[in-house]
């Protein structure tokens, strides 16, 4: 047996008071990010150097004294903000991912981090620090909890728990079933057995519906309640497309892993292809996510993941 990290995503059902507490905790981490980023920019203008994790973490106690409402979030949440900003800065310099941006209050996608010592699962409720007993729906995560992230998705709240679980060790396979697959845009997948899986084109099929909702939102006055309602409608459409795409990819990847011992995939530079005129269609197909799911599900099944090979 080998230990792997596995995440469990669980829907939360907070009360009105708990929803406000969740918003305050997420808002505190957002404000902490914006303050540390602004301090970094000011420090660079004065010294031509940046502040990294050690210096940012050391500034947090003074920051909490200056802004007492940051106490709505746990100390671990604020420490994670400093760590995430450090990672974003280093990625900007090493990989050219772009300089970190300030976070807006109106995104409805705020999140905050929790350590494993601060969460407790019951049969119907989960105990979150500074929030209390929050109802949830779903199976209790198995294995040893490592950390958790609470995230807002429009008008919904979720918690993702990272756990350490045991899976069967990779053993030499008695190879019986081998299949090669070729991904595409017209047909999502064509196998060496001749099977063809059509591309659902979920984003393209919902484009008109999404465009109407976005135009309706653009006509509403900024800051008003009708604008908020229209923005939530747009977010629900995006969420529906995302969930449909995930459902399609999970079912297809699970079927392949269950039925074949070896899966040989086409070796594609997806990032390069996503910079062409076909970028929208390629993002809609989500080839990269499909390959990722094939890889980790093979690992969970006790198979050794192999690099993608050209057919």
Instruction: List pLDDT tens digits, range 157-199.
Output: 999 999 888 876 655 555 677 888 899 999 999 998 889 999 9
As given in the structure block, the two tokens for residue 307 are 């690099």
**119 domain residue, yes or no:** yes
Task: Give the mean model confidence (pLDDT) for residues 236-247.
Answer: 94
Angle subtended at Cα 29 by Cα 27 and Cα 31, rounded to the nearest 5 degrees = 70
With H, G, I as helix, E, B as strand and everything else as coil, classify residue 289: helix
188 and 138 fall within a common domain: no
**79 domain residue, yes or no:** yes
Domain boundary among 137, 166, 195: 166
Q: Which of 63-67, 173-177, 204-208, 305-309 has the lowest mean pLDDT?
A: 305-309
As given in the structure block, the two tokens for residue 68 are 């007492």
* Helices 53-66 and 16-47, axial angle in degrees (round to 10): 120
Q: Measuring CA to CA, how many Å separate 35 from each of 49, 56, 78, 296?
A: 17, 10, 11, 37
- Tell me the Ramachandran region of residue 217: left when phi exceeds 0, alpha when psi lies from -120 to 50, beta otherwise: alpha
Q: Measuring CA to CA, how many Å separate 200 from each of 171, 253, 302?
A: 36, 15, 30
Domain boundary among 136, 166, 196: 166
Q: Which of 73-77, 150-154, 271-275 has the lowest mean pLDDT?
A: 271-275
* Helices 225-259 and 287-300, axial angle in degrees (round to 10): 50
Domain boundary among 108, 139, 166: 166
Structural domain containing residue 66: 2-166
Task: Give the mean model confidence (pLDDT) for residues 6-31.
Answer: 93
Total domain count for the chain?
2
Q: Could you give the CA distance from residue 159 to residue 150 in angstroms, rounded to a whole number?
A: 4
94 and 125 fall within a common domain: yes
Q: Could you give the CA distance from residue 253 to residue 305 in angstroms, rounded to a whole number?
A: 14
63 and 205 fall within a common domain: no
Q: Regarding beta strands 178-183 and 262-265, do their DSSP bridges make them parallel or antiparallel, or are they unpaired?
A: parallel
Listing DSSP states for 116-128 in one string gives GGG-EE-SSEEEE
**pTM of the predicted protein model:** 0.82
**309 domain residue, yes or no:** no
126 and 62 fall within a common domain: yes
**116 domain residue, yes or no:** yes
281 by Cβ neighbours in 10 Å (0-12 / 13-18 / 19+) ranks as middle
């Amino acid at each position: 047996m080998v230990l792997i990290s596995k995440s469990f995503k669980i829907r939360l059902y907070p009360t009105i008071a708990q929803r406000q507490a969740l918003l305050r905790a997420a808002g505190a981490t957002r404000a902490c990010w914006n303050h540390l980023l602004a301090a970094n920019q000011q420090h660079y203008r004065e010294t031509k150097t940046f502040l990294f994790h050690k210096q940012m973490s050391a500034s947090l106690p003074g920051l909490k004294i200056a802004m007492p409402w940051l106490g709505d979030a746990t100390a671990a949440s604020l420490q994670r903000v400093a760590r995430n900003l450090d990672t974003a800065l280093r990625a900007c310099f090493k990989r050219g991912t772009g300089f970190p941006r300030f976070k807006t209050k109106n995104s409805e996608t705020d999140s905050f981090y929790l350590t494993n010592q601060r969460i407790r699962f019951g049969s119907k409720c989960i105990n979150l620090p500074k929030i209390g007993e929050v109802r949830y729906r779903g199976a209790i995560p198995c294995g040893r909890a490592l950390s958790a992230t609470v995230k807002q998705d429009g008008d919904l709240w979720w918690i993702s728990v990272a756990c350490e679980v045991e899976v069967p060790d990779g053993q030499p396979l008695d190879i019986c079933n081998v299949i090669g697959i070729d991904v595409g845009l017209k047909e999502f997948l064509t196998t060496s057995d001749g099977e063809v899986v059509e591309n659902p084109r979920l984003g393209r099929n919902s484009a008109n519906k999404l465009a109407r909702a976005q135009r309706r939102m653009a006509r509403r006055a900024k800051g008003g309640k009708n604008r908020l309602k229209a923005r939530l409608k747009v977010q629900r459409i995006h969420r529906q497309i995302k969930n449909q795409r995930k459902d399609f990819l999970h079912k297809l990847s699970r079927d392949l892993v269950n039925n074949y011992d070896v899966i040989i995939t086409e070796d594609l530079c997806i990032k390069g292809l996503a910079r062409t005129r076909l970028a929208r269609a390629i993002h809609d197909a989500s080839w990269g996510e499909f390959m990722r799911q094939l890889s980790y599900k093979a690992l969970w099944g006790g198979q050794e993941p192999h690099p993608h090979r050209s057919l």
